Amino acid sequence: MTTRREPPDIRDIIATKRDGGTLKQQEIEAFIAGIVEGSIPDYQIAAWLMAICIQGMTRQEIVDLTLAMAHSGHVLDLHRAVPSAVDKHSTGGVGDKTSLVAVPLVAAAGIPVAKLTGRGLSFTGGTIDKLESIPGFRTNLNEQEFLDQVARIGAAISAQTRDLAPADGVLYELRNATATTGSPPLIASSIMSKKLAAGADAIVLDVKVGSGTFAQTEKEARELAYMMVDIGTQAGRRVTALLSDMSQPLGAAVGNALEVREAIDTLRGNGPPDFREHCLTLAGEMLLLSSKAESREKAQRLAEETLNSGAALVKFGELIEAQGGDRRIIEKPSIMAQAKWVEETPAPHSGYIAALDAREVGLAAVELGAGRRVKRAPIDPAVGFVFAHKVGDYIDRGEPLFTIHSNDRQRLETAKEEVLQAYRWSKTPASPPPHIYGTMK
């Protein structure tokens, strides 16, 4: 006679993790199932998230959580659409609009890119928020639309749907509202569950290091990278992780429509040097991992040739049009929302910029309305900053330091003071931080 196993009590699952215990696979799967079914209220999910944030998780718990989240809905079989596909993901940062360049670039080079992504968390920007600043752009593709688009144009970027990793969609929003965004197990499981559910054969991870992301130190970033590479490898995927700097904003623009404009400028062969270099490095790794090139040097060369040829810009236009967006923004970015007030802020004194704290800039962007403090808060696509100088630059007093785009005069003044406080100055030359700290497999 088979003994009927009672489902675990949700309160016991929360208490086990609260007390530093280890959750069994069955308990994790039951909790994730309850989230998807809607039988576990937000306050219990929030308590569980906080317990994980404080107590952490074992390697096996993280793998079990990721797989449970990935299989909480459909797992895409991209081979129904293309022979193979690559995906990329950033752990979040300030001014990180890399997907808007890397996805069409790699697709234009002949490797299909299937990307599920999310909205901004805390002070970091989200790819979906940026894309939604493009008039008409649809970020809610269903499974069949996603597959059809990858097959047709070789690229798709979509938000999670109810069918793909639905548990993560719930957890993603609650992490932002409960100050649990910085937990390495929750970051790793969130990212990798989406990557596994999206079905890509190869995944390149852009793991950020610095004040403008959740891994403040190189050590923390390496631990997070190893965690995600391990999850992907155990799931049978090819995974590479780049460790890149996020101590200062990436590129010049911070803010949704402003970042789309900068991405378009970069696809035209221009754009800020640091952002252009980052996009090429990331795209090169995607091409290398997909076996499109035999060596990193050849992959980087292919990425640069594709960007310089204009093919990546054309592919971005195809992506916009395929998802219902107004393709005219490529020639006329002013179609996107524009702020009521646009004001330059001069340098308060002369000297070298020794630091520009990305976290403080991100928080100031939230103050303007470019990010969200609470679950489902609206985003103002027009607001943000454009920086004229980066760390290591010398600037004279009175020269333009940064430009603020705002729809509220009081918020503009508050944000201006917050960003000015993010600078650290030096009378002697200051070295910019390294762009890439390393590559991990």
Contact at 8 Å (CB) between 159 and 128?
Answer: yes
How far is 115 from 145, CA to CA, in rounded Å?
13
Q: Which amino acid is at 41?
A: P
Q: Burial, 399: exposed, middle or buried (Cβ in 10 Å; 0-12, 13-18, 19+)?
A: middle
CA distances from 303 to 84, 153, 293, 396 (A): 19, 18, 10, 37
353's tokens: 């910029």
Contact at 8 Å (CB) between 388 and 346?
Answer: no
Nearest to 107 by CA among 144, 40, 73, 153: 153
How far is 279 from 267, CA to CA, in rounded Å?
10
165's tokens: 């990793």
Q: Which amino acid is at 130?
A: K
Active site residues: 89, 168, 175, 190, 194
Exposure string for 159-195, b = 16+ CB within 10 A, e = fewer = bbbebbbbbbbbbbbbbbbbebbbbbbbbbbbbbbbb
Contact at 8 Å (CB) between 389 and 353?
Answer: yes
**Parallel, antiparallel or unpaired: strands 113-117 and 155-159:** parallel
How far is 136 from 216, CA to CA, in rounded Å?
36
Q: Which residues contact 291 (CB under 8 A, 6 or more apart)?
A: none
